[in-house]
């Protein structure tokens, strides 16, 4: 496809897919960078994207994907190798002469983070800043898609989760995709900015569960359990789903490697759980509506729109 100047990485993931859909709706031509061909990559072809395959560990494939590109979305899963992948992507982007990058980071990205992933997201932000390319960093809190992981429990009417206190403004992947697409469509006003994009209301996990109940017209009990229970449930979900995405804990890239170290996703979630309890996920703003012109989706709306998955 000639004339493509936008690349979306993490293309088969939640935010990547949403960004591509919104960019195509805006009339942009998009190249999608995927790890392998499967149903999700085939869906992107049907939407109208050019799909190329590669690996963040392969510098040559990154360079090839960026050929002719001027604007890009960079998204890496919660697994080892983020800083190396960022450095490779940043170098290839400099060589290609990109004018802007939208980078997916985290709400809790910071220098003193206990989570390896959160620290590496902070460091990767700095690496991309060093490239001299106009970068926009997005720092979302918990995704509303966590409700999909909770769906089997919501169906049964009893949610077992380790989050007891703390609140956050859950944001949907669709809202994030719309933000990403808007910035890539017209990057000038957003270069050099860090956006703590968020949903429309701060909720505890107990309140998010109650919001799901309102959407479904049923009462759902919330039970606080040890962190290990959630860890085991995610591990079981990864085996059952056979997918490599956020809802499976990025199973493919977080398999035990024989080193004895805990998979990155669980080390991150354990630290993020403590951060959540300590209030580090709090904060509200109107960035989503201000950037896109459309207000973000609430948890209650998110569940209502997917009622068949929860009922």
CA distance 311 to 248: 21
Tell me whether residue 114 is exposed, middle or buried, using C-beta atoms within 10 angstroms of its C-beta: 0 to 12, 13 to 18, 19 or more. Answer: middle
Q: Hey, what are 253's tokens?
A: 């890239």
The pLDDT, as a whole number, for residue 44 is: 96
CA distance 211 to 144: 12
Residue with tokens 């966590």: 146
For the chain, the distance separating the N- and C-terminal CA atoms, rounded to the nearest angstrom, is 42
Query: What share of the chain has pLDDT > 90, as a percent?
Result: 88
* pLDDT tens per residue, range 97-108: 999 999 999 999
Q: Hey, what are 59's tokens?
A: 């510098």
Q: Does residue 210 form part of some domain?
A: no
The pLDDT, as a whole number, for residue 234 is: 84
The pLDDT, as a whole number, for residue 254 is: 46
- Would you say residue 233 has pLDDT above 90? no
Q: Does residue 152 form part of some domain?
A: no
Q: Structural domain of residue 191, as residue ranges?
A: 6-141+171-198+283-295
Q: Does residue 106 form part of some domain?
A: yes
The pLDDT, as a whole number, for residue 247 is: 52
| Interstrand relation of 50-53 and 158-161 (parallel, antiparallel or unpaired) | unpaired
Query: What is the average per-residue pLDDT within 131-147?
Result: 97
Query: What is the average per-residue pLDDT within 116-136?
Result: 97
Instruction: Please state the φ and ψ torsions of residue 151, each to the nearest 5 degrees.
Output: -55, -45
CA distance 208 to 192: 33
Q: pLDDT band for position 131 (50/70/90)?
A: very high
Q: Are the CB atoms for 168 and 140 separated by under 8 Å?
A: no
CA distance 184 to 199: 21
Q: Does residue 55 form part of some domain?
A: yes
The pLDDT, as a whole number, for residue 259 is: 53
Q: What is the CATH number of the domain that holds 67?
A: 3.40.50.720
Query: What is the average per-residue pLDDT within 264-286?
Result: 96
- Would you say residue 160 has pLDDT above 80? yes
Short-list 129, 118, 203, CA closest to 167 = 203
The pLDDT, as a whole number, for residue 30 is: 98
Report the SS3 class of residue 56: coil
The pLDDT, as a whole number, for residue 261 is: 65
CA distance 80 to 147: 25
The pLDDT, as a whole number, for residue 102 is: 98
Q: Which conformational region is residue 168 in: left (phi greater than 0), alpha (psi within -120 to 50 degrees), or beta? A: beta
Average confidence score pLDDT of the chain? 92
- Would you say residue 173 has pLDDT above 50? yes
The pLDDT, as a whole number, for residue 241 is: 47
Q: Does residue 242 form part of some domain?
A: no
Helix 14-25 vs helix 39-47: angle between axes, to the nearest 10 degrees? 10
* pLDDT tens per residue, range 2-20: 589 999 999 999 999 999 9
Cα torsion 208, 210, 212, 214: sign: negative
Query: What share of the chain has pLDDT > 70, as a percent?
Result: 91
- Would you say residue 209 has pLDDT above 60? yes
Q: Hey, what are 81's tokens?
A: 């190798």
The pLDDT, as a whole number, for residue 251 is: 45
The pLDDT, as a whole number, for residue 249 is: 47
Q: pLDDT band for position 167 (50/70/90)?
A: very high
Residue 152: its H or E element: helix 151-156
* Total of domains in the chain: 1
The pLDDT, as a whole number, for residue 3 is: 80
Q: Does residue 190 form part of some domain?
A: yes
Q: Does residue 235 form part of some domain?
A: no
* pLDDT tens per residue, range 42-80: 999 999 999 999 999 999 999 999 999 999 999 999 999
Q: Does residue 182 form part of some domain?
A: yes
Q: Name which of 121-135, 223-237, 242-256 the model is least confident about.
A: 242-256
Cα torsion 276, 293, 308, 248: sign: negative
Short-list 100, 304, 102, CA closest to 218 = 304
CB 305: neighbour CB atoms within 10 A? 12
Report the SS3 class of residue 120: helix
The CA distances from residue 106 to 63, 178, 240, 310, in Å, are: 26, 17, 27, 27
DSSP string, 182-237: HHHHS-GGGTT-EE----SS-B-HHHHHHHHHHHHTS--EEEE--HHHHHHHHHHH
- Would you say residue 253 has pLDDT above 80? no
């Amino acid at each position: 496809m000639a004339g493509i100047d936008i690349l979306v990485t993490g293309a088969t993931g939640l935010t990547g897919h949403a960004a591509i859909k919104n960019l195509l709706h805006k009339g942009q031509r998009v190249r999608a960078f995927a790890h392998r061909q499967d149903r999700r990559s085939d869906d992107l072809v049907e939407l109208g994207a050019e799909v190329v395959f590669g690996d963040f560990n392969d510098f040559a494939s990154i360079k090839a994907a960026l050929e002719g590109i001027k604007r890009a979305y960079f998204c890496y899963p919660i697994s080892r190798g983020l800083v190396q992948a960022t450095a490779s992507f940043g170098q290839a982007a400099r060589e290609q002469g990109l004018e802007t990058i939208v980078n997916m980071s985290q709400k809790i990205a910071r220098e003193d983070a206990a989570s390896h992933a959160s620290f590496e997201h902070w460091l990767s932000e700095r690496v991309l800043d060093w490239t001299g390319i106009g970068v926009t960093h997005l720092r979302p809190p918990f995704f509303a898609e966590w409700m999909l992981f909770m769906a089997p429990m919501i169906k049964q009417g009893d949610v077992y989760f380790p989050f007891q206190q703390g609140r956050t403004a859950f944001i949907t992947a669709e809202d994030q995709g719309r933000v990403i697409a808007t910035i890539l469509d017209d990057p000038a006003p957003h270069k050099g900015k860090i956006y703590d994009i968020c949903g429309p209301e701060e909720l505890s996990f107990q309140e998010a569960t109650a919001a799901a109940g309102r959407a479904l017209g049923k009462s759902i009990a919330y039970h606080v359990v040890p962190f290990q229970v959630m860890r085991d449930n995610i591990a079981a979900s990864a085996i059952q789903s056979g997918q490599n995405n956020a809802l499976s804990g990025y199973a493919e890239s977080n398999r035990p490697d024989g080193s004895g170290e805990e998979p990155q996703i669980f080390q991150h979630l354990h630290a993020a759980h403590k951060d959540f309890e300590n209030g580090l996920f709090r904060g509200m703003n109107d960035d989503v509506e201000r950037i896109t012109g459309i207000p973000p989706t609430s948890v209650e709306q998110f569940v209502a729109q997917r009622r068949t998955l929860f009922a």
